[in-house]
Each structure stands twice: as C-alpha cells, then as structure tokens.
Structure 1
C-alpha cells in the first residue's frame, strides 16, 4: 500500500504485527567530514544550514571521530573517508540505505550530492564483499533522498514519506518498492522543511518523536502519534530547532541524538522516553550541525 489516505493507512497499520524484520540495524556506517564546508546548492532548500563562518572543518572531524567511538559501543560501526568535492557527504543516509540483502542508492536533488552516489568504494563494499544486490535509483529523474525523506518503522514494514523538492511522489513509489515495505504514507511537508527525518523518528518500533509543526496537514502527526501511543512524543518548537527529532535507536533500550538536542529536551520528554524504556545517549555535534543535519543524518544503517 502506497497512499496519501491517512485513514486507510492507519487501518492497515493498526493490524500489522512487529514481525517484518529487526527493529534496529545490525551495523552502521559513517562518512568523514573531509573538506566540510557550506554547500550552496544544498543551502537553497535547507533552512537549517548555517552561514559559512559557522563551519569549522577541524572541529567537525574531531566531533565525528567522537561520534564513531560512541556509536561503536552499541554495534559495529565502520567509516568511509569523505572527499572535498562532496562537502555534504557526512550525511550518507540520504544517498545510501539498506534492506536485508540489498543496497539502495538514492537520487539526490542537487548535483553536488549526486556525486556521492557515484562512489565505487561504497557500492563495491556492499556488492563485492557483502554480496548485497544493488538497487540503483540514482539514474532515474525523480528525487528520492532515502531515509532523509522516508522514515521507516523496520519492525512493522511501514514508511512515512514527506514530499518536498527532495522527494516527489514518483520517488516515494520507487523507495517504497526498493525497501519492500508493507505500506507507506505520503504527506506534504510544511513550507520550508526539506526532510522528514528532522521532524519524525520511529525508535525501535515502539516509540516516536514527532515535530508536528513540520507537517503541512496537522492530521498526519496526530495520526502517527495515535499509532505509537502511549510512547509518542510531540516535540516543542524549541526541541525541533535543536534537532531533537533527528534521533535514532541502534538497539532496543537507547536512542542517540546530539548533545544540543538532548539538552533541549524537556523534563516531560525525558520522562516519556524513560517510560518507553529508552535511555538518551548524546554526542556533541554542533560543528556538524552547521551543515543542516544532525546525528541521525550521519548514520547509514546496515540491515
């Protein structure tokens, strides 16, 4: 099922079990922020990106090493080197994603990011070493920026796809098919928003972080919250601005977000996460957040 019909999607979603696959990844990979700088093409539709004077390449590299070490305490994490000609490559989850036995390569909107999809080392690692089948969406014309645009409940096989200049409806269909999802709900993002994963996180298949103001139709976040109740957190504008929605669970009992995001969480939000059995873990990433993304954007999951 691929639909904009909220009620039809929710009727289906309420009936499916958490038996589609593992709720969290078995490994993850990162790409180092070599040549980290403001990408002017990406800045055209990413309101979270800061001015060039706020970019500190050395600090970004240092914080990225700390991120790698921190995540590796929970699961295997490997890292590919970044390249100066791809300054946004520190956010690989938009370009590369996996499903069991499959590597999916996305179609990026901007040419500066389309270069990332051409990397033979990343493709070769999955195809030649792991034996993954490659599904290459990068050569077709419809933007589909993978797990930036598409938030996935891996336990249930459900997708939540925000449509914007970074993902159109045809791109959403291609991703739905590539991931082999049971059902995907499509919805428009609010004006000025570019990716769903700064507005929504599904955590270990049983909780959700939701930034309602980022959805064009207010009925969408309400419906999603109903599906994950009582462990659905409606984040405040302040929590959203600090990237609290850009979080990820890499195992059943914890979630990761940037230190800036974690410090913005209200006491009520922390209590709700604790009630869901999720411990908040944090890494300082302010240098990387200058690029318009945060911790979840840095992590490409391996299923």
Structure 2
C-alpha cells in the first residue's frame, strides 16, 4: 500500500508486525567532507544552509572524524573520501541506501549532487565486496532522495515520505518498490522544508520524533503520533530549528543527534526519549550543520 489516506495507512500499519527486518542497521558509512563548501544549487531549496562565510571546512572535517569515532563505538562505521566537486557530498544517505542484500541509488534533484551517484568506489564496495544487488534509480527523471525524503520503520516495513521538490509522487512509488515496503504514507512537507528526515525520525521501530511545523498536513502528524504512542516525541519549533528531528538510532537503546540539537531539547522531550528506552548520544556538528543537514544526514545505513 502507498497512500495519502492517513486512516487507511494507520489501519494497515497497525496490522504490521515488527518482523519485516532488523530495527537498526548492522553497519554504516560516511563520506568525508573533503570538498566541503556552500553548494548554491542545494541552497536554492534548503533554508537551513548558511551563507558562504559560515562555512569552516577544517572544523567540519574535524567534527566529522569525531562523528565516525563516536558511532564506531556502537556499530562498524566506514568512511569514503569526499569529492572536491561535491561540496555537500558528506550527506550520502540521500544518494545511497540499503535493504538486506541490496543497494539502492537515488536520483538527486540538483546536478551538483547527481554526480555523487556515479561513484564507482561506493557502488563497487557493495557489489564486489558485500555482494549486494543494485537498484539504480539515478537515471530516471523523478527526484527521489532516498532516506532524506523517505523515513523508514525497518522493523515493520513502513515508509513515511514527505513530498517536496526533492521527491515527487512517482519518486516515492519507486522508492516504496525498491525497499519492498509494506505500506508508505505520502504527505506534503510544509513550505520551506526539503527533507522528511529533518522533521521526522523513527527510532528502532518503537518511537518517533516528530516536528509538526515541518508537515503541511496535520492529519499526517496525528497518524504518526498515534501509531507510535505512547512514545511519540513531539518537538517545539525551537527544537525543530536546532535539528533535533534529524536523529537516528544506531542501536536498539541509543538515539543520536548533534550537540546543538541535544542542547535544545526540553526536559519533557528528554524524559520521553528515556521512557522509550533510549540513551541520548550527542556529537558536536555545528560546522557541518552550516551545510543544511545534521547527524542523520551524514549516516548511510547498511542493512
């Protein structure tokens, strides 16, 4: 099922047992911010991106190394080199994502990011080292920026796809099929939002972080909160703006976000995460956040 009908989706989702697959990834990979800088094409529809003067490439590289070191304490975390002509290529989860035994390559909206999909080192790693099959969506015309646009509950096989200039309805259908999902809810993001994973995170299949201001349709927010109740953490505008929605569970008992996001969390939000069984882990990423993304955007999961 792939639908905009929140009632139909909720009815179907409630019947999906958590037996679709592992709730969290077995490994992850990053891409180093070696070519880090302001990508003007990406900035055209990413309001979170700083002006050119707000970019510090050396500090971003140092913080990125810290992120890899921290994540490596929880799961194997690889890092591929960045490309000099891919200034925001440190967000690989938009371009590459996996299902068990399969690599999915997305179609980026902007040409500056489309070149990332041609990387044979990353494709070759999955093909020749891991033996993964490949589903390549990069050559078709519909934007589908993978786990930036599509937040997935891996335990139950559910998708939550926010539509924007970075993902249209046909792109959503292509991703739904590529990941073999049981049910996907389609909804429009609020004006000015570019990716779903900035306003929604599903944590290990049993909790959700939701930023209502990022959704154009309140019914979608209500459906998601209902599905994950009592562990739906609804964030304030301030928490949303600090990237607290751009979080990820790297293991069944941890939730990761940037240090800036963690510092913006209210006591109620912290208690809600603790009640859901998650220890909060935070990493300084303010230099990276100048590029309009945060911790979740940096992490491509390997299932």
Coarse TM-score class (shorter-chain normalised): over 0.9
SS of 1:165 mapped into structure 2: coil
Q: Does 1:140 align with 2:140?
A: yes
Taking the aligned partners of 1:96 and 1:16, their CA distance within structure 2 comes to 26
Q: What's the counterpart of residue 286 of structure 1? A: 286
CA positional deviation for 1:300: 0.1
CA positional deviation for 1:222: 1.0
CA positional deviation for 1:84: 1.1
Taking the aligned partners of 2:234 and 2:277, their CA distance within structure 1 comes to 17
Q: What's the counterpart of residue 299 of structure 1? A: 299
SS of 2:63 mapped into structure 1: helix
SS of 2:255 mapped into structure 1: strand
CA positional deviation for 1:6: 0.6
Runs of 4+ residues over 4 Å off in structure 1: none
Task: Show the 5 A alignment for 1:55-204.
Answer: 55-204=55-204
TM-score by length of 1: 1.00
Q: What's the counterpart of residue 2 of structure 2? A: 2
CA positional deviation for 1:7: 0.5
CA positional deviation for 1:127: 0.4
Does the 8 Å contact 2:37/2:87 carry over to 1? yes
CA positional deviation for 1:223: 1.0
Superposed CA deviations along residues 20-74 of structure 1, whole A, max 9, x for unmatched, are 0000000000000012000000000000000010100000000000000000000
CA positional deviation for 1:267: 0.3
Taking the aligned partners of 2:32 and 2:4, their CA distance within structure 1 comes to 37
SS of 2:22 mapped into structure 1: coil
Taking the aligned partners of 1:232 and 1:58, their CA distance within structure 2 comes to 37
Taking the aligned partners of 1:237 and 1:221, their CA distance within structure 2 comes to 14
Taking the aligned partners of 2:287 and 2:202, their CA distance within structure 1 comes to 25
Taking the aligned partners of 1:43 and 1:188, their CA distance within structure 2 comes to 20
Taking the aligned partners of 1:35 and 1:102, their CA distance within structure 2 comes to 28
CA positional deviation for 1:254: 0.6
Q: Does 1:251 align with 2:251?
A: yes
Superposed CA deviations along residues 97-127 of structure 1, whole A, max 9, x for unmatched, are 0000000000000000000000000000000
SS of 1:139 mapped into structure 2: coil
Q: Does 1:21 align with 2:21?
A: yes
Taking the aligned partners of 1:90 and 1:265, their CA distance within structure 2 comes to 25
SS of 1:13 mapped into structure 2: helix
Taking the aligned partners of 1:120 and 1:291, their CA distance within structure 2 comes to 25
Superposed CA deviations along residues 261-300 of structure 1, whole A, max 9, x for unmatched, are 0000000000011000100000000000000000000000
Taking the aligned partners of 1:258 and 1:167, their CA distance within structure 2 comes to 25
Taking the aligned partners of 2:230 and 2:112, their CA distance within structure 1 comes to 41
Taking the aligned partners of 1:5 and 1:277, their CA distance within structure 2 comes to 31
Taking the aligned partners of 1:274 and 1:255, their CA distance within structure 2 comes to 10
Does the 8 Å contact 2:35/2:88 carry over to 1? no
CA positional deviation for 1:217: 0.7
CA RMSD of aligned residues (A): 0.4
SS of 2:281 mapped into structure 1: strand
